[in-house]
Amino acid sequence: MNPLSGVKILDLTTLLPGPLATLILAEAGADVLKVETPAGEDMRRFPPMRGDTSALFAILNRGKRSISLDLKSATGKQSLENLIREADVLVEQFRPGVLDRLGFGTGSLEKLNPRLIVCSITGYGQDGPKRDVPGHDLNYMAESGLLSVSPGSPESPAVPPALIADIAGGSFPAVINILLALRQRDRTGEGCRLDIAMTDTLFTLAFWGLAQLDASGKPPMPGGELLSGGSPRYRLYKAACGGLIAVGALEQKFWNRFCALIGLPQTLVDDFIDPVATGAAIAGRIAEKSADEWRAVFDGQDCCANVVRSLSDAIADPHFAGRGLFARKVALSGDDTAMALPVPVSEAFRQSDPDPKAAPIELEAPDGVLPGWPGRSNSE
């Protein structure tokens, strides 16, 4: 039930994109060895804390092991060389050129291990004018144009609720390409270098905007397009209590049912005639009842309308609990819920790991040069 059992992954990454990618691989059975600086990764000190442990660090590093190496020292470099000789995959998140300056450029890595797959995750990639520009998720979204489609109002600019560039632009394509590279290595016996640029994938997420730009020559505008609030069929409406109702009734059958449920006048159902008037009328109708009252109206109806829930309410939903999204645990201070991941998808796989797994809370510092890949005892 562990498709990546026996695959050894060296994780030289920090914060979110790389650690989440290697967590997904660890969930599929890979042996992930996290290499940290002598002071430990910064994420170890990020709040919220559970006792002396960062909850963020714990959920991102569940089931991994960790060692401390000073890669600027001869001892640390020799230890890393020995690990590289036995590794299948090396994932790194340094700025372009840092690995080369440490003495682990592409040529050196090929000599140490010609079967090694090296996955580099950066904001803008290993080449190009922006390769050395620093940034974080919000910067990458701004640079790619994706943020311009949903920036909030001028009076209250909105920060996106998810780290889209880090996860959808970094972690997920890293996992996909590592798996493809492992499959390719099965056939050729050779490793390769993967260049994951978080901004590159953001253009994939903007596919509909790119299609509009190609077809009309006009870029998508916030609040002006079908999927950015320009249509009354795809919008957020405020209920009487201040809660929000999400309407995504794009198809005509869903739209007709939605309009009937809220009692929209028939003269406004054809939203192509006057979308502004239709949207205003819907806003007025939704504002007449509380979110709970609208929930009772929409539940069980084919209308693509529902109440915007809090994260805690969503986690408690029997549907998500029943699908096993939060069945796995992190051994922290008690059995804490592990991160919901896009793997595994089979029922048997979901049930194959009932026991809590610990994050590498204690940072191991080897005494001298590591001879090779550390073994596991039966108790571990």
Q: Catalytic site residues?
A: 136, 166
Structure tokens given for 336: 């804490």
Structure tokens given for 301: 């109806």
CA 379 to chain centre: 32
Q: CA 78 → CA 43, 84, 365, distances in Å?
A: 26, 10, 14
Mapping DSSP to helix (H, G, I), strand (E, B) and coil, where does residue 28 land?
Answer: coil
d(CA 17, CA 60): 10
d(CA 100, CA 39): 22
Q: Are 33 and 11 in contact (CB under 8 A)?
A: yes
Q: What is the 3-state secondary structure (H, E, C) of 58-105?
A: HHHCCCCEEEECCCCCHHHHHHHHHHHHHCCEEEECCCCCHHHHCCCC
d(CA 119, CA 181): 10
Q: CA 263 → CA 7, 255, 269, 270, 281, distances in Å?
A: 59, 12, 10, 14, 10
CA 210 to chain centre: 22
Give the DSSP letter string of 284-352: HHHTTS-HHHHHHHHTT-SS-EEEPPPHHHHHH-HHHHHTTTT--EEEESEEEEPPP-S---SHHHHTT
